[in-house]
Structure 1
Amino acid sequence: MTTAPGPPPAVGTPRPFRDRGAALGFIVACQRDPATGTAFLGEEPAGVEAELEGLAQPWLSTLRAVTEGGRLRAAIAVEWDEEPSMAWLQGPWGPAAAVREHGPALVRAAAGQVPPGIERLEMCGHVANTAMADLARRLGWSATEVSLAMVVDAAEAARWPVPEPPPGVSVRLAVPADRPGLARLHEPEFGQAYATVDQLLTRHRTVVAEDGAGTLLGYAAGRIQDDGQAYVDFTAVAPEARRGGVGRSVVTALVRQLLAEGSPGHVHLTVRESRTAARSLYRSLGMRQDAALRGYRGPRPAPAGSGRLGRA
């Protein structure tokens, strides 16, 4: 006895898409346009592929796509980390009209793969990606402050002079005993970020500045990413130690560590637009603005058919 096949998926329903070459070509094409790309993947084919391969979950397994006539029209992927209890959407990719039409369904399809207990989701794109901004608004998600992506050639960074730390301050690599001091610096600045304090000590190269009493005054953390480039991911300085050279000392020391670990072509970082002092520091080091980015954060979207796009 045979079982009658179920009804075919509705037109426009996001489904798994396993043609790796076609998916990569579509994603790279979207990444090359700020209006359709997502943040932090880059735009060169090799770099985009390396970043996708470095996601916590296999990107092709989480990819969900809407096709038309066998061709990709819009797509999304997702990764998650249970330690900060967050998930990050990669995409949605596609022309603005396709994202506006299929974006909510794509987000639901991506979120449906995230393990129970992870309720915070985030996506990020160029400020020119108005379709992503509109999707976030429809989901009821909040927008972050604009962050500026900055970059400098590694060869230029290698020539940065090593600054003399402020009097009584020493700069060194972080050790596990620094966890309480790092938490005091990291959590007020980056409590919603993708790395916990523990991960600063295990997944990142972290440099700290401390005074003669052993109090941490600032830190910088980063790593060589999957695309082979150096990234300064987090920097914070205690309010009482700002504008005294601590930030320059830890950033310079961290970048020297990263350059010694690999052979990156560039050093990257992002800084919130309102952080004028930090931006001035990075410009003084020869860094230039590469892009303006905005993130969007919110809870899992409500299931299809609930009558709501998002939930409070």
Structure 2
Amino acid sequence: MNRPVTQQHLSQLAELLAWMDQAPERRALAPEARTPEGLWWELLVGEEQAWVWLEGGRVEGYGALVPFWDGAALEGPIVRGGDGRALLAHLIRKARQRGYSALYAFPEARNQRVRSLLEGMGFSAQHTTYFYTIGRADLSCPVPQGFRIERVERCDPEVYRELYSRVEDGWSLRLRWTDEELCQHFLEAGVELFLAYSRKGQAVGLAELELGDKEAEVAYIGVVPEARGRGLGRALLGAVADWAFAQPTVELLRVRAHDHEKAAQTLYRGLGFREESAVMTYAMEF
């Protein structure tokens, strides 16, 4: 049976999440916390609307709705006991009741059980995103002649939006941010913005780096169409990698590429990045 997550479920939910983590074929979008206390703050104090599936009084499934783009992102479904259809049907029904226009799910590509469940309930596969990692390495690269790369202290929202919309057709999330939200984001600790400029001073590429205590992630990287094919994207990657690994505690760099970004995938593999996971995006429109 489906029940809203309460404090009495948190210990068993933490154990269910640990079970999911043990194998790639079980993984899907899930809470970050892995302790009852952390889950309490994330699920019972936060904005998520979360439910568990109970079999014989035990937590054997989990799912939640999180506001995302024009609809909601689906955490899970994480299914250990039962076939999961009742849990997923419940989540779809709740999304409709809350007036969401679409529901998105992000299972690991190897999670055939949940992928089949989603497809059987009417979700459509959109694309696959590949995630790569590399340990401390020298990835520096000369900047092509006629260009320069600079770390930007303050974000110019107008320049940023134009670049963001031109370097990748599929990016849209940041275009909804206000000027204030964009500026505030790049003032946060650990968030760095690098821009590439042409000889005429026109911004033609960007790279965003998010620094953690031990890891760093390239959140976005791209070059406008007319500046491609000259090694500028490779030089941007080298610039952010140099900055990341200049931090003494950072031991790992993460990057990502969608399935249509073949050149980026080839570049990452050629530089020694290891594919860590592949996540599929599914969508259901209401």
Task: State the TM-score, normalizing by the size of structure 1.
Answer: 0.73
Partner of 1:251 in structure 2? 237
Contact residue 209 and residue 219 of structure 1 kept, 8 A: yes
Partner of 1:222 in structure 2? 209
Alignment of 1:193-272 (within 5 A): 193=173, 196=176, 202-203=184-185, 204-224=191-211, 229-259=215-245, 263-272=249-258
- The reply on whether 1:28 has 2:18 as its aligned counterpart is yes
RMSD: 3.5
Alignment of 1:1-312 (within 5 A): 12-18=1-7, 19-39=9-29, 58=45, 62-80=49-67, 84-95=69-80, 97-109=82-94, 111=95, 118-153=100-135, 155-156=136-137, 159-161=138-140, 163-174=141-152, 175-176=155-156, 177-185=158-166, 188-191=169-172, 193=173, 196=176, 202-203=184-185, 204-224=191-211, 229-259=215-245, 263-299=249-285, 311=286
Three-state SS of the structure 2 residue aligned to 1:35 is helix
Distance in 1, matches of 2:46 and 2:208, equals 26
Amino acid at match of 1:143: A
Contact residue 107 and residue 114 of structure 2 kept, 8 A: yes
Query: Deviations 1:196-246 (Å, cap 9, x if unpaired)?
Result: 566665435322211122322221223136x85322122222222222111
Shift of 1:97: 4.2
Q: 1:251 to 1:41 in 2, by over 3 A?
A: farther
Shift of 1:31: 2.5
Three-state SS of the structure 1 residue aligned to 2:106 is strand
Contact residue 168 and residue 211 of structure 1 kept, 8 A: yes
Q: 1:90 to 1:22 in 2, by over 3 A?
A: same
Contact residue 27 and residue 111 of structure 2 kept, 8 A: yes
Amino acid at match of 1:266: L
Distance in 2, matches of 1:80 and 1:220, equals 26
Distance in 2, matches of 1:261 and 1:196, equals 32
Percent of aligned positions with the same letter in both sequences? 20
**Number of corresponding residues:** 275
Task: State the TM-score, normalizing by the size of structure 2.
Answer: 0.79
Query: Deviations 1:22-54 (Å, cap 9, x if unpaired)?
Result: 211211211322222114878x958xx98x799
Shift of 1:148: 1.6
Distance in 2, matches of 1:32 and 1:184, equals 38
Q: 1:13 to 1:194 in 2, by over 3 A?
A: farther
Contact residue 206 and residue 221 of structure 2 kept, 8 A: yes
Q: 1:268 to 1:228 in 2, by over 3 A?
A: same
Contact residue 43 and residue 49 of structure 2 kept, 8 A: no
Structure whose residues are more often strand by fraction: 2
Three-state SS of the structure 2 residue aligned to 1:127 is coil
Distance in 1, matches of 2:239 and 2:114, equals 37
Distance in 2, matches of 1:57 and 1:185, equals 40
* Uncovered stretches (5+) of structure 1, i.e. residues with no partner: 1-11, 300-310
Shift of 1:60: 9.1
Q: 1:53 to 1:90 in 2, by over 3 A?
A: farther
Distance in 2, matches of 1:287 and 1:86, equals 33
